[in-house]
Amino acid sequence: MMIYGYIRVSTDKQTVENQRFEINDFCDRNSTVVNKWIEETISGARSVEERKLGRLLKRMKKGDVLICSELSRLGRNLLMIMGVLNECMNRDIRVWTIKDNYRLGSDINSKVLAFAFGLSAEIERNLISQRTKEALARKRAEGVTLGRPHGSKSSKMKLTGQEKKIKELLDKQVSFSAIGRILGVHRLTVSNFVKCNPDIVSDKLFS
């Protein structure tokens, strides 16, 4: 079993020392030792996958413990926090918070809570879906054309913004296939982009 101490601050101006002190004090009072610390300076609004927390959760195993000063360190909003807690409980990872005094594990109370988390998340997804459908229906009723008009093309293509780079390569007589490899796209994507943007093609290519 591994015990992880997780500390997150939103800005460089905030200090991690208060959170570290709270966790260490808690461990001393409960004869527990943190095996590994994870600290990061990042907004709680960023997705879990973008944070060290996401990488930590992936390597944590059944029976491991995650200790943090309070639930708000796990995320900015309730839905994000519920997602983290739900994943932990589904994998039998325990989460302890100090200020909130939560002890979430594999006991029956935690499982009931996990069910509530999952149900809340599903309800939220359904509400978002329903609001989207209602908004689209209202737009249709008002006569608004939804989506891209039939036969039209998007004004922004995958290579939009790369015109200068493509022109330089074309001027050097680099093939579409080679340009595709350089830009990480298929040669047909390059070919179609050039056809739609003939002004980037040098006249000497046709001389």
Strand ranges across the sheet with 36-41: 36-41, 3-9, 65-68, 94-97, 103-104
Tokens of 116: 């509530």
Can you say how many angstroms the Cα of residue 118 is from the centroid of all Cα atoms in its chain? 19
User: What are the φ and ψ backbone dihedral angles of 103, each rounded to 5 degrees?
Assistant: -130, 90
Q: How far apart are CA 201 and CA 207, in angstroms?
A: 12
Nearest Cα neighbor of 162 from 114, 119, 121, 196 is: 196
Rg (CA), the chain: 26
Beta-strand pair 65-68/3-9 = parallel
The residues annotated with a catalytic role in the active site are 10
